[in-house]
Amino acid sequence: MPQKSVPLTASSPSPDNAPGCNRCKDLEELDFDFTFAYQPIVDIHRRTIYAHEALVRGPNGESAASVLAKVNDDNRYRFDQGCRVKAVMGAAKLGIKEFLSINFLPNAVYQPEACIRSTFEAASKYNFPKERIIFEVVEGEDVIDRPHLINIFEEYKRFGFQTAIDDFGVGYAGLNLLAEFQPDIIKIDMELVRNIHDSKPKQAIAEAIVHLCRQLNMKALAEGIETRRSGIFW
C-alpha cells in the first residue's frame, strides 16, 4: 500500500493562501493524451531502488519526443501541471514507496507558491508523501530567467520537496548555478558516464563532480550505467 502523506507543519508551509495568477487558474484539458513509464534509479552498493523517475510517454508507448513535440507556449503550463498530477497518481497506483522524481518546466512556472498547489492536492488525494517527491530540471533546459529558476528551487525546497539538476555537465547552468543554489541531487550526464572505465578525462571530471557534491552536501547520481565495467567506477 502507498505510504500516507505527512501533514504540513510550520516548517513546511501550505500554498493554500498563496496569491494566484491567471495562468494558474487556466486548467483546461489538453488536446492530447500522455502517460508515464517509471524508470528505477538504483543504489548499486546497497542493491536497492532509491527512486523512480517518471518518464513521459505517449498513450500507446510512444516516445517522449513525440509527446513533447506537442507542447507549445499556449499549453506549456497545462502540460506541466498535468505531468505532476499524472506522475503522482501513477506512482501511487503502482505502490511505489521510494522517491518519485518528476521533471518540471521552469518556463511554465509563473508563481511557484501558487503553481505548486496541484502537486499538493495530488499528493493528498493519492496518499503519496510529498517528502518523497523530487522536482528536477534538465540542465540544458532553455531557461529564460535563471534567478527565476533559483526562486522556484528555493520555494519547492521550502515546501518540503527535494530538488535535482538532471544531465549535469552539458547545459547552461554548471558551476555558476551551484554557487547560487545547491539542490539535493546532481545527476551526472550519461555522456560523461558511458565508457568511463576507458577514459581518464571522464574519470577525472566525474571524480571532481562527486567530490564537489560531498563538499556541498548533495547526492551524486550517475546516468547511463549500462555495463558492469562502467558500474565498477562508482
Grid coordinates belonging to 58: 505517449
In this predicted structure, the answer to whether residue 7 has a pLDDT above a threshold of 50 is no
108 found inside a domain: yes
Residue 114's nearest CA partner among 29, 22, 183 is: 22
Longest dimension (CA), the chain: 54
12-46 per-position pLDDT tens digit: 455 555 444 555 445 568 999 999 999 999 998 89
225 found inside a domain: no
In this predicted structure, the answer to whether residue 104 has a pLDDT above a threshold of 80 is yes
Q: What is the CATH number of the domain that holds 47?
A: 3.20.20.450
211 found inside a domain: no
196 found inside a domain: no
Grid coordinates belonging to 85: 498530477
Tally the domains of the chain.
Answer: 1
Can you give the length of the chain in residues?
234
81 found inside a domain: yes
**Which runs of consecutive H residues, i.e. helices, occur in the chain?**
22-25, 64-68, 76-94, 112-115, 117-125, 146-158, 174-180, 190-193, 200-215, 228-232
Q: According to the model, what pLDDT value does residue 114 have?
A: 78
112 found inside a domain: yes
182-234 per-position pLDDT tens digit: 999 999 999 999 999 999 999 999 999 999 999 999 999 999 888 888 777 77
Using CB atoms within 10 Å of the CB of residue 115, give its burial: 0 to 12 exposed, 13 to 18 middle, 19+ buried: buried
Dist. CA 53–CA 193, nearest whole Å:
18
Strand pairing class (219-222; 185-188): parallel
Compute the Cα dihedral for 114, 97, 93, 79 and give only its sign.
Answer: positive
Q: According to the model, what pLDDT value does residue 21 have?
A: 52
Q: According to the model, what pLDDT value does residue 139 have?
A: 58
Can you give the residue range of the structural domain that contains 133?
A: 33-167+178-187
